Amino acid sequence: MDVITTILAGLEEVKHLEFESKYPRMMSKVFGEHHKESLMNIVSTENYKNDPNFELRYSEIKDTEPVVFLLEMSNIVVNLILKAVLSEKVMNTVSKLEFTSVAIDADNCKSLGKLSNLKILRICPKIITNEFLYNLPMNLKLLNITDLDAMDRNLMTEHEINPSTLARPNINLKVLVIDAQFLYDFNSILLSIPSLEVLKIRCSQPININLQAQRDKIRLQELFIECSDDQINEYKTSRTTSEIHCFIQSLALYIDFTSLERL
């Protein structure tokens, strides 16, 4: 870990930085108890003194199932690396920052607000809170906060937002990529970002529709809907109302389709 941190800290004029952690998910089907023991032995030799909370985080996952341990340990390591490099000079030049298959903790999410040159951010916070939205980088133009893995409910982002107490984000966001549940629960937040022009939503059945949510419709220029292959095949072959058709009907409750230039 120290080697990676040192390499990143020594770089200059980096525009695009991506933290990718696909290996744990590739190994999840074959990762067993003996693999977990080997990984725990490796962890015991690493130096994590730069994070006083490591022991607490580690104690929370050390008795979990092997696959869960692998995924969570990967998240911890990436967050430790990120914490170490966020204060480095190289981060001041980054305009595009992406995290693939890794959940970012609250402390690192808060620190991202210091990245004044950041224009594009793809991130999956462990929990989306009022503080996360308020502390987004001021010059951010594109934000992608879709879930880590739509097929694994244990990995999906939690929402802990109170729209009534959320201060208006001080950003000029143009493009937003979200899952359907975020729109259903917090469309009032999207209404507080008048600069928003493009919205991309992952097609899914709502986990829980907030019947008290604000119903003023969002005006956009473009709307994109992300669908799985199974959903598309059902749409093409079904003689009854498909999931995609129902999904679009539900979107009409939240989005002003008359304002769209492209759907």
Contact yes or no for 148/22 (Cβ under 8 A): no
Structure tokens at 147: 């879930």
CA dist., res. 249 & res. 246, Å (int):
5
Crossing angle, helix 66-85 and helix 2-9, to 10 degrees? 30
How does pLDDT run along the chain (263 residues), one tens digit per residue? 677 777 877 788 889 998 887 666 666 666 777 777 777 776 766 666 556 777 777 778 788 887 777 788 888 888 888 988 888 888 999 999 999 888 898 889 989 989 989 999 999 887 888 788 888 898 999 999 986 554 444 455 677 777 666 655 667 899 999 988 888 877 878 888 889 999 999 877 655 665 555 568 899 999 998 887 777 777 677 766 667 777 888 888 889 999 998 76
Give burial (CB, 10 Å; 0-12/13-18/19+) of 99: buried
How does strand 127-129 pair with strand 158-160? parallel
What's the one-letter identity of residue 152?
A: D
- Taking Cα atoms as reference points, which of 209, 195, 193, 196 lies closest to residue 251? 209
Q: Write down the pLDDT at residue 232.
A: 73
Within a 10 A sphere around the Cβ of 253, how many other Cβ atoms? 13
Q: Write down the pLDDT at residue 156.
A: 58
Alpha helix (H) ranges present in 62-216?
66-85, 106-111, 130-134, 180-191
Q: Write down the pLDDT at residue 168.
A: 59
pTM for this prediction: 0.81
